Amino acid sequence: MTVHAFKMQLKPGVVEEYRRRHDEIWPQLSTLLSDSGIYDYSIFLDEETLSLFAVLKLREDNSRETLPDHPVMRRWWDYMAPLMEVQPSNQPKEWPLPLLFHMD
């Protein structure tokens, strides 16, 4: 198991829409993420900066690196692109967050 943490950035005025879309996450996307070895996935919001902080766990045999090639993932990114800072492919821009402290 690996823990992966990263930051993303929302655009102003879209917090409620971002929340709504995640509250109604597509079942096929949830299945894809699970089948790719992702679990225990949370996204937190810094309301002052509109930064999103995501933390997810990856199974040893995960295939997270193949997600950008999957049509469901690409459709989700296209759907979310108006709300976030994205790359030309509409993949959300991610900034990795290195672990500085952990306590079990």
Residue 103 lies inside a defined structural domain of this protein: no
Report the CATH number at residue 41: 3.30.70.100
Tokens of 103: 């306590």
- Torsional class of 90: left (φ above 0), alpha (ψ -120 to 50), beta (otherwise): left
Q: Give the active site residue among 4, 22, 70, 102.
A: 22
Residue 12 lies inside a defined structural domain of this protein: yes
DSSP H or E segment with residue 35: helix 27-35
- Read off the pLDDT of residues 1-44 as tens digits, 9 standing for 90 and up: 899 999 999 999 999 999 999 999 999 999 999 999 999 999 99
The answer to whether 70 is a known catalytic residue is no
Mean of per-residue pLDDT scores for the chain: 97
If one counts the domains in the chain, the total is: 1
Residue 15 lies inside a defined structural domain of this protein: yes
Tokens of 20: 């709504």
Q: For residue 80, what are the domain limits?
A: 2-96
Answer for the pair 43, 22: CB distance below 8 angstroms, yes or no. yes
